[in-house]
Amino acid sequence: MEADDGKRPQLGVVVSLLDLGDGTSRIIFDDVRSDDPRRQTSWKFDCFFTHKRLNSSELDDMSLSDDEYHGLGVSLVARLLALNGRVK
């Protein structure tokens, strides 16, 4: 495994989890921005990207469907590519 060189981009995605209290939870993707491209940076909210509502018990048990896990991963990678101008 490569050592962490401390370099970071100026744009990224923060992923958070919110329990909605009704048996569902929301995974939220927000774009963030930094003025300093290094590991010890302060990220600032830039804009809301998307969210996904999921069954909390399935989420807690890590028993989401393969399609749901796939969709979350695809959304994250697609957004990172878009933020870095690498969308084809």
Domain spans in the chain, listed from the N-terminal domain onward = 11-83
Residues 49, 16 contacting (CB under 8 angstroms): no
Other Cβ atoms within 10 Å of 83 Cβ, number: 19
Backbone angles phi, psi at 58, to 5 degrees: -65, -40
Alpha carbons within 13 angstroms on the beta-carbon side of residue 56 total 10
pLDDT tens digits, the chain, 88 residues: what are they?
Answer: 889 999 999 999 999 999 999 999 999 999 999 988 888 889 999 999 999 999 999 999 999 999 999 999 999 999 999 999 998 7
Residues 32, 43 contacting (CB under 8 angstroms): yes
Q: What confidence score (pLDDT) does residue 55 get?
A: 97
